[in-house]
Amino acid sequence: MKQPFYKAPALWLVVLLILTGAAMAQESRIGTNAASELLVPVGARYIGVGGSSIAAVQGIEAIYWNPAGLSRTTHSANAMFSQMRHISDINVSYVAVSATFSGLGTFGLSIKSLDVGEIIVTTEESPDGTGAIINPQFVTTGLTYSRALSDRVSVGATFNLISESIDRVGASGFAFDAGVQYSNVGQITGLSLGVAVKNLGPAMQYDGTGLFRTSQPNGVDRGSTPLQVVAQKDELPTTLEIGMAYAVPFGTKSKFDLTTMYQDNNFLDDVSRFGVEYSYNETFFLRGGYNLSPDAPKDAVGEDSYIYGLTLGAGFHYELPNIAMDFNYAYRDLAFFDGSHVFSIALGF
């Protein structure tokens, strides 16, 4: 009897690799991509393990890390809020909700917003400021669908709508994420595999009245002429991520989850991530992780240009008769900047 297609995870892995092959074929072009906010992580639980849990992530936090894990939840409805202080005091706010419908799958809605604060407008004529203040906005709204095809295989996809505005210019676009998770690989209990391709979509281009300029043609006896600067189109920061996880029981109530992931970046240096989570009675959690990029170049003084490294975290899970609550915290160490503090609350109904 032929094996059903949804029980052949290798097929899904091949499909994902084909989808992203063209996008990943180019060499790294650091700093030239659009929509860098797509790369900003959310959720304290999996930031605490260095973002390495693509194979084990489950529930509502999976929307960002691997949408295939969204369907792996014990609750029919979930909600989550996360707050992070990012580089240069950029505030990253994230909210998500999900609902599972019998026979259909799990649907999720998420909104991520970056607040960079107020910026004083300066010009060549007024380098100390014109008196005007702008407040740039970067918002990503996502719609996710995930489904468990069997007790071992789940798939998921997210459609992200991207919106950016800075003063009188703005850009919009969309990005597509897809992922698959496979549990008990090789009939080994606790061993999981995950693959995700993220940020597939068309290039983005800024437009707006802020790009209008006044020009005085040379050698022409006439007044100034209005013109519009045409901004360049920039591609999205596509990534391909492959990871594994292994759950190791320790005694009757304790467990260690070991996770690792390799991230192939189209516009950044490739990154390897490692993490471990200790859980006691599925109630109390301690986490640690580490990120490294061996191929990242050195800066002008010989230091590594990759700024991320150690991550730490802790969490607490509490069950009430009709609601489950998760409180998580993570710390993300950064070179040259103050470390990031991340807080998140998740509810299950």
CA gap 167, 138 in Å, rounded:
12
Q: What is the dihedral of CA 62, 57, 29, 209, to 10 degrees?
A: 10
Q: Are 213 and 227 a contacting pair, CB within 8 Å?
A: yes
For the chain, the farthest-separated pair of C-alpha atoms sits apart, in whole angstroms, at 89
pLDDT at 306: 86
Report the predicted TM-score, pTM, of the whole model to 2 decimal places: 0.88
Residues 6 or more apart from 122 whose CB is under 8 A from it? Answer: 128, 129, 130
What pLDDT, on a 0 to 100 scale, did the predictor assign at position 72?
94
Q: Report pLDDT for 150.
A: 92
Residue 73 near residue 59, CB atoms below 8 Å? yes
- Altogether, the residues listed in the chain come to a count of 349
User: Contact, 111 vs 87, CB < 8 A?
Assistant: no
What pLDDT is recorded for position 121?
86
The owner of tokens 């390799």 is 262
SS3 249: strand
| pLDDT per residue as tens digits for the range 83-99 | 999 988 899 999 999 99
Taking the C-alpha atoms of residue 28 and residue 272, their distance in angstroms, rounded to an integer, is 16
Class of domain 5-348: mainly beta
Helix (H) / strand (E) element for 28: namely none
CB 203 within 8 A of CB 193: no
Amino acid identity of 40? V
Q: Are 263 and 256 in contact (CB under 8 A)?
A: no
Strand intervals (E) in 207-270: 212-215, 225-228, 239-250, 254-265
Low-confidence ranges of the chain (pLDDT < 70): 1-30, 219-222, 299-302
Structure tokens at 127: 């380098």
Note the pLDDT of residue 248.
95
At 218 the pLDDT is 72
Interatomic CA distance for residues 265 and 279, integer angstroms:
31
172-178: Cβ within 8 A, 24+ apart: 172/204, 173/34, 173/35, 173/201, 173/202, 173/203, 173/204, 173/236, 174/201, 174/202, 175/35, 175/38, 175/199, 175/200, 175/201, 175/236, 176/200, 176/201, 177/67, 178/16, 178/19, 178/67
Domain ranges of the chain: 5-348
Return contacts of 126-134, CB within 8 angstroms, 24+ apart. Answer: 134/166, 134/167
Q: Give every CB contact of residue 98 below 8 A, 6+ residues apart in sequence.
A: 60, 63, 70, 73, 77, 78, 79, 106, 107, 108, 109, 144
